[in-house]
Amino acid sequence: MNCFMFPGQPLFTDAHSPDDSDLLEVAKLTRERTGLDILDSFWQGQPAGESVTLQVYGAAMSLCHARRLARDGVKPGLIAEHSMGIYAALAVSGSIAEGDALELTCRIGRVMEEMSGHGAYALGCMVGLPLEPLLSIAENNGVHLANHNTSRHFLLSGGRAGIETAVVEALASGAFSAKVFPCDAPLHTPLMATVEAGLREVIADFRYGEPAVPLMNHIDQDWLTASEVADFLLRELLLPVHWDATYRALRAVGASRFFEVGAGDALKKYNRWIDSEAARSA
């Protein structure tokens, strides 16, 4: 069974061929609904920062990729999402329209961007340590687990000073790699409650239909229904992403071919790690 996986915010934008009809159509829709020209990363009207630009670009690229797969006759039997990938995933599942997914991504991103005016935040990408020592490091430095991608790949999120000291402690504790990435907001942590009112207001402006393709959420691996979508869109910004558990759950219900529908191949890499670990323990 085919599973379409929708990744979160990419790290950078790529150059694209201007003769791609799907790209041109999605670029036009993106300009109309968000003000961002994804072909040159230029904002028409009110500008936004790099994080919002990448978030909207990532959603647009996911929609382009999904269109190309559909044109090639590749259809999903299941859909999974990671972090900000939820908005494009909802569109491809049939719960919301493409334009709504783009606008929702942009407006959520702008609310999160407001947090950058009240503090310096960062992500810490940690590779090599198991969960328990990593959680202790997070607690020691006043930061939070944001992504549980594999048994040895995690993101921490929180104040930049705390992330920087957590990175030092992780390396001293035997991590293969630990890096700091600045960000607008401490995504997937309780600290997001600071802008909860603004997030609720944005989410309430949209209407969510029943997904036509089963869509698994990354918190507790349940299938989203129309009545649950709005609540999930808030919860997922305050709680960690559990990709390791999500991928295993997808395998358990019969997903066998996985397509990363968007920019990059991070989810494919996580999947290979999880599969190799399962093979070693078999």
68 pLDDT tier (thresholds 50, 70, 90):
very high
Q: State pTM to two decimals.
A: 0.95
Angle subtended by helix axes 226-238 and 196-204, to nearest 10: 160
Nearest-angstrom CA–CA distance, 204 and 195: 14
- Residues 141, 100 within the same domain: no
Nearest-angstrom CA–CA distance, 97 and 118: 33
- Residues 97, 18 within the same domain: yes
Residue 210: the pLDDT is: 98
Of 270 and 282, the one with more pLDDT:
270
- Residues 111, 134 within the same domain: no
Of 182 and 17, the one with more pLDDT:
182
Whether residue 264 is predicted with pLDDT greater than 80 in this model: the reply is yes
- Residues 243, 257 within the same domain: yes
Whether residue 195 is predicted with pLDDT greater than 80 in this model: the reply is yes
19 pLDDT tier (thresholds 50, 70, 90):
confident
- Residues 111, 124 within the same domain: no
Domain end, chosen from 183, 201, 229, is at 183
Residue 282: the pLDDT is: 65
Q: Which of 12-16, 169-173, 229-233, 275-279 has the lowest mean pLDDT?
A: 12-16
Range of the domain at 92: 2-115+189-281
Whether residue 174 is predicted with pLDDT greater than 80 in this model: the reply is yes
CA distances from 48 to 135, 154, 205 (A): 33, 28, 21
Whether residue 135 is predicted with pLDDT greater than 70 in this model: the reply is yes
Whether residue 273 is predicted with pLDDT greater than 80 in this model: the reply is yes
Our count of domains for the chain comes to 2
pLDDT digits (tens, 9 = 90+) for 206-260: 999 999 999 999 999 999 999 999 999 999 999 999 999 999 999 999 999 999 9
Q: How many CB atoms lie within 10 A of CB 182?
A: 13
Of 202 and 39, the one with more pLDDT:
202
Domain end, chosen from 168, 183, 198, is at 183
CATH number for the domain spanning 264: value is: 3.40.366.10
What mean pLDDT is predicted for residues 169-197? Answer: 95
Identity of residue 124: G
Nearest-angstrom CA–CA distance, 176 and 154: 12
